[in-house]
Every structure is written in C-alpha cells, then in structure tokens.
Amino acid sequence: MKPQVIIAGKTSPTSLWIFGYGSLVWKPDFKYKSSKVGYIQGYKRRFWHGDNFHRGNDDLPGRVVTLIEDDDATTWGMAFEVTGSQVEESLKYLNVREAVCGGYVTKLVDFIPEDDQVNQTHQALLYIATPDNPLFLGPASPEVIGHQIATRQGKTGHNLEYLLRLAEFMRRRCPHVDDPHLFSIEAAALALVPYLLGAQ
C-alpha cells in the first residue's frame, strides 16, 4: 500500500508522525519538525530481512531489521513529526529508500513517546518487511546473522555500520531497554572483526 493511500483517511494530512526502528533512528535524511524517542507495542525488532541494495548485493545480501508481530513485545525507536510540505517530501524520499530499494510496505501504528505524561499516543507511519517479501531471510542464530553482517557491504555502506549505529542509539537514547536480540548479534559480529582484519 502506498504511503499516500495509508494517510488518505487522516483528518489533517498536513502533519504526520513517522516511526523509525532501524537506520531511520540515526539517519533520517529528511526534514522534520520534531522528533521523540518512544515505543510501539505488538511488534518485536528482528534482523530477519535481506538487503541487496543499501547493505549488501544480490549475491551477498546484508541483514537489516524488520518488525515481527508479537502481542507481548515492545519496540523502541524514534518518531519524527513532519508538517506541511515536509509530509509529501518525506514520503517521496522514504518510498524510494524503504519501499523501492528496501522492499518494505507501510503500516499505521500507535506511537507512545518516552516522555509522555498524559498517556497521549500519536498515530505513526512505519515501514515493515513481511515474510512474503522475496528478500525476507527469516530467523538464524546470532552467530550466523553476525557473520553475515560482518561480511556484507552495499551502496550505502558496510552492514556492520548499520548494526553498530543501531546498537549505539539504543544504549545512548534508550539505556533502560534490554534488547538481547540486537546486542547478541552485535557481540557475535564484533568477535569476528579481528579475524576479518587479519585476513586482509
């Protein structure tokens, strides 16, 4: 579903929140009015999606995050508020970055800001890769995923950078949140770096 279609029912299409849980948290690359750290419920973040453009190629796809439905899960990230002309500009940009080049589709979710004092939620747009996507790789052990990430590179950069920047965001902006999936993969990938450097 196109982003323009998913917001067609909004009463005020001049503003929109966009929730990021992967590279968007540290590299949004679009203009926005404000940003907030917070979370969504009912989804867990997993390195289960393949990337043959930004962080890999057709022969050696990288691993990037997507969201998997889980009623008991919570995913932390960053939401960006876009207003006025920023709405159309950001959606055009993200449609290419996430949908055309990344294979993601859009959904609307309830975003809860970390500093929320009045239980106020924002309906937010997010991009998600589903299991029926041809690039979807599915689950694997932290060691397997870590090895794939440590040895992949795409047009945007090394897959390891993607992993490390996401882990850095979580430690810096969400220090109270435990993310064993993310941090176990980070540890597995970093353990390989000395061997990879020695092989060069």
Positions annotated as catalytic residues are 98
Burial 70-104 (b: 16+ CB within 10 A, else e): eeebebbbbbbbbeeebbeebbeebbebbbebbbb
Per-residue tokens: 150: 């440590």
- Contact (Cβ atoms closer than 8 angstroms) between residue 119 and residue 113: no
